[in-house]
Structures are given as structure tokens and as C-alpha cells.
Chains A and B, each alone.
Chain A
Amino acid sequence: MNNPTALQLIDVTKSFAHKKVLDGVNLQVGVGEILSIVGPSGVGKTTLLRTILGLETVDQGQFKVNNQAFNPKDHSQNKIGIVFQDFRLFPNLTVLQNIMLAPLRVQKVPHDKVDGDVQQLLNLLQLEEQKDYYPFQLSGGQKQRVAIARALILRPQILCYDEPTSALDAQNKSQVSELLRTFKERQITQLVVTHDLEFAHEVSDRMFNLGEQTQ
């Protein structure tokens, strides 16, 4: 791995009720790399992702983003973006409002600047026509692309996907792998948690099998 490291996990351990789910996980993702975390179900893929997102407190271990210590529970910096399996769009907001909420309210980016960024993303993700739709009016693939736009607009260091192919048909699936490659060209670091080995093989630069815990 020649690229500088975007994300590093050192000895991350997490137990639930005395059962060790993550046992000293060490992991590195290079800048612009697509790393898939794979492994049989129940092996802790989702737990690992949730610790990276700061949704679970780890028993021990360290996180680094761009070689600097990083507290996953601090979401104010928007260092890590996430596209959930069930997308978790806000049903009361339009596509545009879903995407613009955080840059306007959290990052306090001026409106005209956000407008420009959103326009580019809508074009890239082919959501131009749907920008005033509400989530219930979108197909599964469109919802996912809105979720991607909502994460990308915050310019995260690392973009994570939780089971990105589980809700998609074959056509949408190949569209997603194409998108991941497009983002890779733009040097966006991507972390894919998936049980879909075929997809993982197709998109990843590298796979991390959590069951074996070897890189």
C-alpha cells in the first residue's frame, strides 16, 4: 500500500455482555482506496462499522484519520460519511432539502456555494429530475444515490457503505459499482461493508475478511 493512510484502526475491541465481538481489530485504508470488509454474518461487520461511525463505544482501541487521533463520536467535523443499507433519508424533506440540511446548518456553508455543490452532485448522480421529490416518490436506487449525495456534500475523508447492494437489482448494482469507481478517481476513500462477495471482488482494491482478521 503506497498511498498515505486515510483511516487506521488500532487494536479495536468490543464486547457485548462478555461476548467479544471485535477482538483487537487492526485495519488500514489508504487514501483513495476502496476497501471491502467481508465475512460471514454474525462476525461483527456491522459492529465494526458502528464503532467507526461512533455509534458504539469501544472497550479499547484507537482510531486515526489522516494519521491524526480521531474520536469517532465527534460528528461535528464530518470526517466520515455513511450510506446506510436502508438509506435513512428524512421523509419530511425533499431530495434537495435532505442533501442541503447539514451543509447549511452544520457546516454553515453559504447558500450559493451549497447550491453549486448540490448541482454538481445531482448531475453526477443523475438526480436532476428528482430534486424536488420526497423520498417516498423515489426508487431504491434513487434513494441510495440521494443518501450518497447527502454524505458526499459534506466532503468526508472516508465514505462508508453498509450493505450497498442488498436492496438493489442487478442493473442498479452495476450502477453503484460504477459510481464507486468514479469516486475513486476523485481520490475519495471508500469503505464497503458487505456480504456480497461478488460485488466486493468487483469494486474493491482490497478485501478485509473480518472472520480471518488478516489483511
Chain B
Amino acid sequence: MKYISEIMPSLLSGTKVTVELFVITLLLAIPIGILLALGLRSRFRLLKIILEAYVWLMRGTPLLLQLIFIFYGLPTIGIVFERFVAAVIAFVLNYAAYFAEIFRGGLQSVSQEQSEAAALLGLSKQQAFRFVIMPQVVKIVLPSMGNEVINLVKDSSLVYVLGIGDLLRAGNVATARDVTLVPLVLVGIIYLLLTGILTYIQNKIERGFSYYE
């Protein structure tokens, strides 16, 4: 117990870094993902092709490669980012692509007929999107978004390779130093707690949207 209380502060500060990365990524990647999804459905062919290529690139290559590319690769051509900034850029670019695909699917499954009905009532495209389409899309995408959000918590451990002091690094350092499994077990428990809380929140939100079918 004494040992646990000794290493807890470093694990908690690692947790703080993990949570910070998680929150910043979500706050940026969700709106960007929605914009990308709208772009993917745009009538401008060139824009569509560029965005499709972007999504393909981000989903088709490992996030780990993207992290290494941005932090270790780009400096060779003179583009240098601070560690945490590099991590945020990689995560936002990557997750925005995943969110875009999810929202694109959601937009597609709200039928064209709903947009037509809204247009015939005189609603502008923006009004139709806000009052009719988006609320339906949100309900549709919630389960897949929940999965991605939980993946993000676990993926955040990949910043280990950039030497960022996240939760995993804090645990690994303590294990190597003190030759004990305890820190890594604690790290596992903290990840479980984080994903458990998120699952709980996800269920709450999904229930909040179950008032209609």
C-alpha cells in the first residue's frame, strides 16, 4: 500500500497528460470531422476527391507512423513541433478522418426524403440541417462514436514513442525502476476506469436519445 501511494502521484500526472490529449483531440476532431463529412457529400468533385484521399490516407496508415512522421520525420525538412503539439496534430488529423466517415454514413442514412420534406416547408438548408437532419444523425452515429472515443483513450498510449509523459510511460518507468508489476497493473486499472466512465456517459447519452425511434 505504501508503495502504491508512493507511485500514485506520478501515475496521476501521467493520467492528466492522457486525459488532456484525449479532451483536446475530441474537441478539435469532432467539429473537423463534421465539416469533412459535409465536404465528402459536396457537389464539388475536386473537393470530394481531395477529402476522400485524405480520409483514405489517415485510415489506411498506422497512427503510430503518423505520430513518428510528424514528430521525427517533419523536422528533417525543417518543420518542428513540440512533443505534445505533434501528438495533438497527429491525433486530430487521424481521428477527424474516422469521425468524418462515421458522420458521412450518418448523413447518408437520414433519407433524402427528410431533406425534401424540410425544403418543401420552406426551411433553408441550414435550418433543415439544424432542426431535422443533425439531431437524427447524432442519434445514428452515437454507438460508433462511442467506440471510437474509447479507442482514443487507448490509442493515446501511442504517444509513448514521442517520449511524452503519459499514463503508460509513467507506469513503465516505475516498473523498470522498481522491478515490480504493480505500476503496470495500476496503469491497466486506471485505463479501465477511464473507459468505464466513458462507457457510462455513452450509455447515458444514448438513453437520452431513445425518446424517439
A67 part of interface (Cβ distance < 8 Å): no
Q: In the bound complex, do residue B212 and residue A105 qualify as a contact, i.e. CB atoms below 8 Å apart?
A: no
Docked pose: A82 CA to B117 CA in angstroms: 9
- For A105, the chain B residues whose CB sits under 8 A away are 123, 127, 131
Q: In the bound complex, do residue A92 and residue B122 qualify as a contact, i.e. CB atoms below 8 Å apart?
A: no
Q: In the bound complex, do residue B131 and residue A101 qualify as a contact, i.e. CB atoms below 8 Å apart?
A: yes
Q: Give, as a whole number of angstroms, the nearest-CB distance from A108 to chain B.
A: 11
- For B132, the chain A residues whose CB sits under 8 A away are 90, 92-93, 101
Q: In the bound complex, do residue B212 and residue A75 qualify as a contact, i.e. CB atoms below 8 Å apart?
A: no
Give residues 16-40 of A contacting B (CB, 8 Å).
none
B178 part of interface (Cβ distance < 8 Å): no
Q: How large is the interface on B (under 10, 10 to 19, 20 to 34, 35 or more residues)?
A: 10 to 19
A107 part of interface (Cβ distance < 8 Å): yes
- For A136, the chain B residues whose CB sits under 8 A away are 212-213
Give residues 53-69 of A contacting B (CB, 8 Å).
53-55
Q: How large is the interface on A (under 10, 10 to 19, 20 to 34, 35 or more residues)?
A: 20 to 34
B47 part of interface (Cβ distance < 8 Å): no
Docked pose: A93 CA to B128 CA in angstroms: 13
Q: In the bound complex, do residue B113 and residue A86 qualify as a contact, i.e. CB atoms below 8 Å apart?
A: yes
Q: In the bound complex, do residue A101 and residue B212 qualify as a contact, i.e. CB atoms below 8 Å apart?
A: no
Closest to B122 in A: A106
A-side interface mostly:
loop
Give residues 187-213 of B contacting A (CB, 8 Å).
211-213
In the complex, how many residue pairs between chain A and chain B have their CB atoms under 8 Å apart?
Answer: 62
Q: In the bound complex, do residue A92 and residue B123 qualify as a contact, i.e. CB atoms below 8 Å apart?
A: no
Give residues 96-146 of B contacting A (CB, 8 Å).
113-114, 116-123, 127, 131-132, 135-136, 139
Residue in A53, A91, A107, A134 whose CB lies within 8 Å of B120: A53
- For A107, the chain B residues whose CB sits under 8 A away are 122
Docked pose: A91 CA to B114 CA in angstroms: 9
Give residues 84-134 of A contacting B (CB, 8 Å).
84, 86, 88-93, 101-102, 105-107, 134
Q: In the bound complex, do residue B123 and residue A101 qualify as a contact, i.e. CB atoms below 8 Å apart?
A: yes
Docked pose: A91 CA to B119 CA in angstroms: 16
Residue in A53, A106, A134 whose CB lies within 8 Å of B123: A106
Residue in B116, B119, B121, B136 whose CB lies within 8 Å of A92: B136
**A106 with B213: in contact, given A90-B114, A90-B132 (CB under 8 Å)?**
no
Q: In the bound complex, do residue B139 and residue A101 qualify as a contact, i.e. CB atoms below 8 Å apart?
A: no
Residues of chain A having any CB pair with chain B under 8 Å: 53-55, 75-78, 80, 82, 84, 86, 88-93, 101-102, 105-107, 134-136, 150, 154
In the complex, the 9 A-B pairs of residues with the closest C-beta atoms, listed nearest first: A88-B117, A106-B122, A102-B121, A136-B213, A134-B212, A92-B135, A75-B122, A90-B132, A78-B122
A-B contact list, 8 entries, CB within 8 Å: A75-B119, A78-B121, A88-B116, A90-B132, A92-B139, A101-B132, A106-B127, A136-B213
